[in-house]
Amino acid sequence: MNRPDRIDADACYRALCSHDARFDGQFFTAVTSTGIYCRPVCRVRTPRRENCRFFAHAAQAEHAGFRPCLRCRPELAPMERHWSSEDASAILLQQATLWLDDPQHWHDSEGNMGERMAARLGVSDRHLRRVFEDQLGVSPLQYLLTRKLLTAKQLLADTDLPITQVALVSGFGSVRRFNAAFFEHYRLNPTQLRRQIGTRDSDQGTTVRLGYRPPYDVAATLAFFRQRLIEGVAFVDEQQRFGQTLRMDIGERSHRGWLIAEFDETRNQLVLRVSDELREVLPQVIHRLRAALDLDADPGAINAVLHGAFPAGDGLR
C-alpha cells in the first residue's frame, strides 16, 4: 500500500484539533477554502473537517496546488523519517529523499540529477520515478523543488541575505528561475516574505529556528555532547546552549566560522545562530546540525521501542 493511502484522515484531524506537537512534520493539513497548508501545531482557527485534506509530505500539498502557511511556516517542521524493513519501495524512497534533502546535491543540473541519484541507489532512473509517483504522487524533481523553495522561504523570513544570494544558496541556478518558481508555487514575490528584521550586529551572526518533535530529551542530548566536546573548539553551558567552531568545504571553497544552538523547549524549537562567514552555506549547516542533534527523530516511537526492550527496572546489562 502506498504512503498516501496510509494517512488516517480522522486521526490527523484529531491531532490537528489538539495541536499535538508529536505529529509535527508527520503530516500537513491543506484547507480547501483558503488554498493554504499548515503544520499540526498551527494556532490559526481550526478549519472545518470537510475543508481539510491531509498529506504526508509538503511536496504532495504543493503539487496539489496549496501554498505554505505564513504563520506556522511548514519549512520549520522536522522532516519525516519513516521507513519499513519489509517494503523495498519504502526503503528506496527513504534513501532517495535523504539524498534530495542534502543541500550539497541541490546545485546539480536538473538534467542529470535524477540519473546521478538513481545510479547512487543502484536502480534505474525510470524505476525511481515510478516509486516516487506510487509512494508520494510527485516526481523526484517536484520533491526537490519543494525542499529548495521551503529553504528559500525560511531564509527570506529569518535572515537579511540578499534575494540573489538566497536564490543561489537554495540551489537555484539564477534569480530569474527562482522568482518564476516562487511565484508559480506560492503566488507571491520573494520580497513579500521579507520580515522586518531590524538592524543586525554582524558580531551576533544570523539566526534561524529549527523545529523538533517532543518529547525530545534536551538534557540527555547536551550531556552526550558535553562528555565528548573538545575544549577550545566546542562548549555546552547551563543555559542549554551548544556551540562550536566549524569548517565546511563546499566545492573548492572552505568556509570557517562558529555556530551557537540554544533549545527553546516551550516552542519545541532550536534557535541557531551562525557567524557571517557561514551565511553562504547556511542550508548545509542546518542540514548537518539537524542530523547531529537528530532533530528529525520521532522520540515517541523511539521511547516505545526502548521501553519494550528494556522494561522499567531492568536497565542495561
pLDDT value of position 3: 44
- Under the banding of pLDDT at 50, 70 and 90, the label for residue 317 is very low
More confident residue, 308 or 193: 193
Domain boundary, last residue among 136, 166, 193: 193
282: Cβ contacts below 8 Å, ≥ 6 apart: 155, 159, 161, 169, 206, 208, 274
Q: 268: domain CATH number?
A: 3.30.310.20
pLDDT value of position 202: 58
Return contacts of 172-180, CB within 8 angstroms, 24+ apart: 172/148, 173/107, 173/109, 178/152
CA angle 13, 17, 18 (to 5 degrees): 120
> What is the C-alpha to C-alpha distance for residues 116 and 180, in angstroms, rounded to an integer?
26
Residue 48 corresponds to which amino acid? R
Residue 181 and residue 117 in contact, taking contact as beta carbons nearer than 8 Å: no
Please indicate, yes or no, whether residues 189 and 206 belong to a single structural domain of this protein. no
Domain boundary, last residue among 76, 103, 127: 76
Please indicate, yes or no, whether residues 41 and 59 belong to a single structural domain of this protein. yes
Residue 39 corresponds to which amino acid? R
* Residue 195 backbone phi and psi in degrees, to 5: -100, 160
pLDDT value of position 140: 92
% of the chain residues with pLDDT over 90: 65
Please indicate, yes or no, whether residues 212 and 232 belong to a single structural domain of this protein. yes
Please indicate, yes or no, whether residues 176 and 236 belong to a single structural domain of this protein. no
In terms of phi and psi (left: phi > 0; alpha: psi -120 to 50; beta: otherwise), the region of 30 is beta
Whether the per-residue pLDDT at 251 is higher than 90: the answer is no
Please indicate, yes or no, whether residues 239 and 208 belong to a single structural domain of this protein. yes
pLDDT tens for each residue of 147-202: 999 999 999 999 989 999 999 999 998 999 999 999 999 998 898 887 655 555 55
Residue 206: strand pairing partners: 274
- Under the banding of pLDDT at 50, 70 and 90, the label for residue 87 is low
Residue 64 lies in a domain: yes
pTM: 0.83
Please indicate, yes or no, whether residues 160 and 181 belong to a single structural domain of this protein. yes
pLDDT value of position 312: 56
Q: 122: domain CATH number?
A: 1.10.10.60
Say whether the peptide bond before residue 215 is cis (omega within 30 degrees of 0): yes
> What is the C-alpha to C-alpha distance for residues 149 and 63, in angstroms, rounded to an integer?
13
Please indicate, yes or no, whether residues 66 and 110 belong to a single structural domain of this protein. no
Q: For the chain, how many structural domains are there in total?
A: 3
pLDDT value of position 233: 94
Please indicate, yes or no, whether residues 252 and 235 belong to a single structural domain of this protein. yes
Count of alpha carbons within 13 Å of 27, Cβ hemisphere only?
A: 24
pLDDT tens for each residue of 256-290: 999 999 999 999 999 999 999 999 999 999 999 99
Q: 24: domain CATH number?
A: 3.40.10.10
pLDDT value of position 106: 87
Residue 167 lies in a domain: yes
Residue 244 lies in a domain: yes
pLDDT tens for each residue of 121-133: 888 999 999 999 9
Tell me which residue range forms the domain holding 284. 202-300
Residue 305 lies in a domain: no
Residue 309 lies in a domain: no
> What is the C-alpha to C-alpha distance for residues 118 and 105, in angstroms, rounded to an integer?
13
pLDDT value of position 263: 96
pLDDT value of position 4: 42
Q: Render 131-152 in DSSP notation, one character per residue.
A: HHHHHTSS-HHHHHHHHHHHHH
Please indicate, yes or no, whether residues 62 and 147 belong to a single structural domain of this protein. no
Residue 99 lies in a domain: yes
pLDDT value of position 249: 87
> What is the C-alpha to C-alpha distance for residues 59 and 33, in angstroms, rounded to an integer?
19
Please indicate, yes or no, whether residues 212 and 262 belong to a single structural domain of this protein. yes
Please indicate, yes or no, whether residues 94 and 65 belong to a single structural domain of this protein. no
Please indicate, yes or no, whether residues 104 and 160 belong to a single structural domain of this protein. yes
Residue 212 lies in a domain: yes
Domain boundary, last residue among 25, 53, 76: 76
